Amino acid sequence: MTIPAGTYRWTRYSLQGALAVKRKVNGEATLSRGTFYGGHLNGLALTLRVKPSALITTEAGWERNSAQLPQGDFIQYLYSGRFQVNVSADLQVSSFLQYDNESRNFGTNTRVRWTFNPLGDLFVVLNHNLRRNLNDRLVFDSNQLLVKVQYAYRF
């Protein structure tokens, strides 16, 4: 499907409900509706978070977007998961996973953050992506390793 170049305006309406983030089990639900590239888009998103302790957080997400466009209709599903471990106040490890049926890609983003000094942080990020081939198997698509050091110098 190709959407022609041009100016588009969107009007979206959303209804959202959430449980307090301070609870061990919390989440949110969002229902949305509105215009989208000259057509309409309806969405439903659900997120569930479980925090068994102050050190660990897990999250599962599901989203369904249904579009009716002049060029054709589609339904897109997005599945996601997140896992975070706070080893200490200075060291966190988190991983985010995501798959959607339109691009047929599965991606992960894993990040380590270490505060080695009150003025300095080290970030190590690994992105790993897989895609479905014609045989409906997940095959390697790309890897990326990023390292960032951030330090504030005060004088």
Residue 3 has what pLDDT? Answer: 84
Residue 2 has what pLDDT? Answer: 82
Q: Give the total number of structural domains in the chain.
A: 1
Domain extent at residue 63: 30-151
* Stated pTM of the model: 0.83
Tell whether 14 is covered by a domain: no
Residue 114 has what pLDDT? Answer: 97
Tell whether 11 is covered by a domain: no
Tell whether 1 is covered by a domain: no
Give the position of tokens 């569930």: 48
Tell whether 18 is covered by a domain: no
Q: What is the rounded distance in angstroms from the CA atom of residue 78 to the CA atom of residue 50?
A: 20
Tell whether 8 is covered by a domain: no
**pLDDT band (50, 70, 90) for residue 142:** very high
Q: What is the rounded distance in angstroms from the CA atom of residue 102 to the CA atom of residue 77?
A: 8
Residue 132 has what pLDDT? Answer: 87
**pLDDT band (50, 70, 90) for residue 6:** confident
Residue 35 has what pLDDT? Answer: 95
